[in-house]
């Protein structure tokens, strides 16, 4: 498996950075979470004037064999159709990226019904397919360890190439894939040790009967895994190609000392895999929103982190990252540009 060098940001300047934040022309702590995010940016960049440079969002798309069991109300063809929509500029993530001047790249990690000939050659699409969707994890491992390790390496390579070409210091991760909330629920269950039923949500909109069916299928998958595959890692037994690539991409971003924007339920499941192996990655991560998907709140509680937004979103695509970026940028800008009490010749009101 690809090795990364992820170190906790140096702590030697933390007092200086905190003093700078505290002496801006405002009551102490009055910018709330902006101050916390701002300090984190100072630490990551080791600078008292943090900046946002060429923000990027990568949407990794892939299909999941478990979809054959009816865990989603949508057919697998929708994954490919949404990739076409991303490339045509018609999805929510396109709108929000355009609004906030974020560069968007779409990656085919393993979409089953995708016709590459329909993809415009505009430089915003990467073909890195590892197969026409994963295997059905109700019956067997979704992928092999070799495939999982390859996905980690590919995700890391995509982020590194972009970093080399753009010098971006903020990277967001999104996903698309029918069935991927099932994969994320299983990963969450085995990492956080929450009861499986607490990890399973409605995904793309299951009704009560559909949710009950999904819970039953995933419980059967758990039993099959534990009874018949005792030496296999749940990471590659349940994961999707897109989730593994996101995990690798996040690890590479932390290796590069880039700020990582973490989206919703699936992206956080990928982050959990990264965090299990390299706990220091938490220092580079900003959690953009709390998804309306059932288990996401418990994931964030497990990681002991606070999300920026809570808008009842559950779309994926990296939309939470795009919505949160202006707040992250504001956190950097007030530290870099707001006057101190001394500069403004205002009495310190602390």
pLDDT (tens digit, 9 = 90+) per residue, 140-172?
A: 999 999 999 999 999 999 999 999 999 999 999
Please name every residue paired with 60 in a beta bridge, in sequence order, or none if there are none. Answer: 107, 175
At residue 350, the pLDDT reads 58
Where, residue-wise, is CATH 1.10.1610.10 in the chain? 14-51+334-344
Give me the pLDDT at residue 1, please: 76
CB atoms within 10 A of CB 273: 26
pLDDT, tens only, 244-294: 999 999 999 999 999 999 999 999 999 999 999 999 999 999 999 999 998
SS3 50: coil
Q: How far apart are the first and last CA of the chain?
A: 51
Task: Name the DSSP letter for residue 110.
Answer: E
Q: How much is the pLDDT for 344? A: 82
Does domain 14-51+334-344 sit in CATH 1.25.60.10? no
Label residue 348 by pLDDT band (50, 70, 90).
confident
Residue 45 tokens, joined = 């960049």
pLDDT at 72 over 90: yes
**Looking at residues 310-316, what average pLDDT do you find?**
95
71 vs 230: CA distance, rounded Å = 25
Q: Average pLDDT, stretch 217-234?
A: 97
Instruction: Determine which one of 35, 283, 317, 342 is catalytic.
Output: 317
- CA torsion sign for 196, 198, 199, 204 is positive
Q: What percent of the chain has pLDDT over 70?
A: 99
pLDDT category of residue 122 using cuts at 50, 70 and 90 = confident
Rounded average pLDDT over 217-238: 97
Distance between CA 301 and CA 306 in Å, rounded? Answer: 8
pLDDT at 199: 98
| CATH 3.40.50.10210 domain span(s) along the chain | 56-330
Inter-CA distances, 65 with 31, 83, 129, Å: 46, 18, 15
pLDDT of residue 345: 84
- Check pLDDT > 90 for residue 6: yes
Burial of 246 (0-12, 13-18, 19+ CB in 10 A): buried
State pLDDT tens for residues 190-216: 999 999 999 999 988 899 999 999 999
294 or 178: which leads in pLDDT: 178
| Mean of all residue pLDDT scores within the chain | 96
> What topology is assigned to 56-330 in CATH?
Rossmann fold (3.40.50)
* Residues 6+ away with beta carbon under 8 Å from 123: none
pLDDT at 155: 98
pLDDT, average across residues 70-79: 95
Half-sphere exposure of 207 (CA within 13 A, CB side): 1
* Position 175 pLDDT exceeds 70: yes
Looking at residue 349, its pLDDT comes to 64
317 assigned to active site:
yes
Calculate mean pLDDT across residues 27-53.
97
């Amino acid at each position: 498996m690809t090795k990364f060098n992820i170190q906790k940001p140096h702590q030697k300047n933390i007092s200086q950075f905190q003093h700078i934040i505290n002496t801006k022309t405002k009551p102490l702590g009055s910018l709330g979470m902006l101050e916390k995010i701002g300090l984190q940016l100072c630490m990551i960049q080791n600078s008292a004037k943090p900046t946002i440079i060429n923000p990027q969002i990568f949407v990794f798309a892939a299909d999941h064999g478990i979809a054959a069991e009816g865990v989603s109300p949508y057919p697998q063809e929708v994954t490919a159709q949404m990739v076409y929509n991303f490339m045509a500029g018609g999805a929510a993530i396109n709108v929000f990226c355009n609004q906030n001047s974020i560069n968007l790249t779409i990656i085919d990690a393993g979409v089953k019904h995708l016709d590459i000939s329909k993809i415009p050659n505009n430089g915003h699409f990467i073909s890195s397919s590892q197969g026409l969707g994963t295997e059905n994890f109700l019956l067997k491992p979704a992928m092999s360890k070799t495939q999982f390790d390859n996905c980690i390496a590919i995700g890391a390579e995509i982020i590194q190439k972009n970093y080399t070409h753009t010098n971006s210091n903020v990277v967001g991760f999104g996903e698309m894939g029918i069935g991927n909330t099932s994969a994320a629920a299983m990963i969450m269950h085995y990492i956080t040790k929450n009861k499986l039923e607490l990890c399973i949500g409605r995904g793309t909109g299951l009704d009560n009967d559909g949710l009950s069916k999904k819970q039953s299928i995933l419980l059967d998958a758990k039993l099959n895994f534990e009874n018949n595959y005792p030496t296999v890692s749940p990471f590659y037994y349940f994961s999707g190609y897109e989730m593994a690539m996101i995990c690798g991409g996040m690890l590479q971003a932390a290796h590069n000392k880039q700020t990582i924007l973490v989206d919703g339920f699936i992206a956080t499941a990928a982050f959990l895999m990264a965090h299990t192996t390299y706990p220091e990655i938490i220092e580079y991560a900003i959690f953009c929103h709390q998804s309306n998907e059932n288990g996401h709140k418990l994931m964030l509680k497990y990681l002991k982190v606070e999300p920026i937004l809570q808008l009842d979103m559950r779309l994926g695509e990296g939309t939470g990252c795009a919505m949160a970026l202006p707040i992250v940028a504001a956190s950097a800008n007030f530290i870099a540009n707001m006057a101190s009490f001394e500069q403004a010749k205002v009495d310190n009101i602390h």
